[in-house]
């Protein structure tokens, strides 16, 4: 919208410019309000994590959950993380948000452990865009320690674009984290910058096939060929590959027959708050 307004403003003479510059002002003001609200939401701990189950294709059991941030804005309602994460990255809130996500996910894992709910691992999305916190490793280890959790409980999901930033200090942080026994998963695999060379620099333990390869896989030969090729990359590297965004049985059947290891998507469950996830688990995997 901003682009359109700008374009129209430029092409339609002086009077119009004033009109559209008001609109741009409004956009800037909305944005600034969101930044202030987001900062407060993180500080007041009103963001929530929802959890989406991940299913081991081999035995059909739940092998983990992915934690996804939710923001119920007092005036605007639910705001998608695809909208507020980039804001956090731009306005210096991403470290606080990362910290909040790791803390909340660890706290939840400890609670499930105590309730004897068998969820072996939690995946947390980590944004390293515009990130400076060189204490990230200590911070994560501190949270694990605090909640008495093994490093193997935690997987950090990174996106390929993150690794365009080959800033040596970022790489060092990632290597330190890995040294401590925490794994990395490459999210949205196949959609980012198409160099695979980062796979040599960063120890990745899992690939996640992006949803865009899955969404039409039952009709599209190219999607099927690409999902197969991506699985092959994972297998050659001896790491697991997750298929995300599975919405129907046909898609699941194809990915299963190709040899995918882990499945995630609306077919199994939407992301749920912790209470609803607990109910889901009890219903789908009743004990005896």
For the CB of residue 257, give the shortest distance to ligand C2E in the complex, in Å: 19
Stretch that binds ligand C2E, among 170-178, 193-201, 253-261, 263-271 (CB under 6 A): 263-271
Residues between 109 and 138 with contacts to ligand C2E, criterion CB under 6 A? 125-127
Does residue 241 interact with ligand C2E by CB under 6 A?
no
Gyration radius from the chain CA atoms: 21
CB of 15 to ligand C2E, least distance (A): 41
- Is the separation of the CB atoms in 137 and 171 below 8 Å? no
Instruction: Give the footprint of ligand C2E on residues 46-65 (CB under 6 A).
Output: 52
Tell me whether residue 127 or residue 227 sits nearer to ligand C2E (CB atom).
127
CB of residue 168 to Mg ion, shortest distance in Å: 25
Q: How far is the CB of 269 from ligand C2E (least distance, A)?
A: 9
234 touches which of Mg ion, ligand C2E, none (CB within 5 to 8 A by kind)?
Answer: none
User: Measuring CA to CA, which residue among 193, 189, 239 is closest to residue 211?
Assistant: 189
- 7-46 residues in contact with ligand C2E (CB under 6 A) are none
Question: What is the Cα–Cα distance from 151 to 130, expressed in whole angstroms?
Answer: 25
Binding site for Mg ion (CB under 5 A): 125, 157, 187-188
Burial track 175-195 (b if 16+ CB lie within 10 A, e otherwise): ebbbeeebbbbbbbbbebeee
Among 34, 63, 79, 101, binds ligand C2E (CB under 6 A): 101
- Identify whether the C-beta of residue 52 lies closer than 8 Å to the C-beta of residue 59: no
Structural contact between residues 153 and 110, judged by C-beta atoms closer than 8 angstroms:
no
Distance of CA 118 to the CA centre of its chain: 22
Q: Does 221 bind ligand C2E (CB under 6 A)?
A: no
Q: Which tokens is 187 given?
A: 């999210």
Asked if 271 is part of the footprint of ligand C2E (rule: CB under 6 A), the reply reads yes
Rule CB under 6 A: choose which of 85, 136, 149, 156 binds ligand C2E.
85
Which C-beta is closer to Mg ion: that of 20 or that of 184? Answer: 184
Q: How many residues does the chain have?
A: 288
Counting DSSP H helices and E strands in the chain, the numbers are 11, 9
- Interface with ligand C2E (CB under 6 A), residue total 22
Q: Please name which of 270, 247, 263 lies closest in space to residue 52, comparing C-alpha atoms.
A: 270
Residues 6+ apart with CB under 8 A from 191: 160, 210, 212
Taking the least distance from each CB to ligand C2E, the nearer of 149 and 160 is 160
d(CA 240, CA 206): 5
CB 88, min distance to ligand C2E, A: 8
Nearest to 52 by CA among 184, 194, 246: 246
Interface residues for ligand C2E in 150-209 (CB under 6 A)? 157, 187-188
Q: By C-beta, is 80 or 222 nearer to ligand C2E?
A: 80
Q: Is 265 in the site for ligand C2E (CB under 6 A)?
A: yes
The site for ligand C2E (CB under 6 A) is made up of 52, 68-69, 80-82, 85, 101, 125-127, 157, 187-188, 211, 244-247, 265-266, 271
């Amino acid at each position: 919208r901003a682009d359109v307004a700008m374009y129209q403003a430029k092409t339609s003479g002086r009077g119009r410019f004033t009109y559209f510059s008001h609109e741009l002002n409004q956009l800037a003001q909305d944005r600034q309000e969101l930044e202030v609200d987001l900062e407060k939401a993180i500080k007041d701990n009103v963001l929530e994590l929802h959890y989406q189950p991940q299913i081991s294709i081999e035995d059909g059991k739940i092998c983990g959950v992915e934690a996804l941030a939710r923001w119920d804005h007092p005036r605007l309602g639910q705001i998608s993380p695809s909208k507020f994460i980039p804001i956090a990255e731009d306005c210096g809130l991403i470290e606080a948000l990362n910290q909040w996500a790791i803390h909340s996910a660890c706290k939840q894992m400890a609670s499930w452990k105590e309730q004897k709910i068998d969820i072996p691992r939690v995946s947390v999305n980590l944004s390293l865009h515009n990130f400076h916190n060189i204490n990230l490793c200590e911070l994560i280890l501190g949270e694990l320690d605090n909640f008495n959790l093994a490093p193997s409980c935690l997987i950090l999901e990174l996106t390929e674009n993150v690794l365009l930033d080959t800033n040596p200090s970022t790489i060092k942080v990632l290597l330190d984290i890995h040294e401590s026994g925490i794994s990395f998963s490459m999210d949205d695999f196949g959609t980012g910058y198409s160099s695979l060379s980062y796979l040599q620099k960063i120890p990745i333990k899992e690939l996640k096939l992006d949803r865009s390869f899955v969404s039409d896989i039952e009709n599209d030969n190219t999607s099927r060929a690409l999902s197969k090729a991506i699985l092959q990359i994972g297998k050659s590297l001896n790491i697991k590959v997750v298929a995300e965004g599975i919405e129907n049985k046909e898609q699941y059947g194809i990915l299963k027959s190709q040899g995918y290891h882990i499945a995630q998507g609306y077919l199994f469950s939407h992301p749920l708050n912790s209470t609803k996830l607990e109910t889901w688990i009890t219903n789908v995997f009743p004990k005896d």
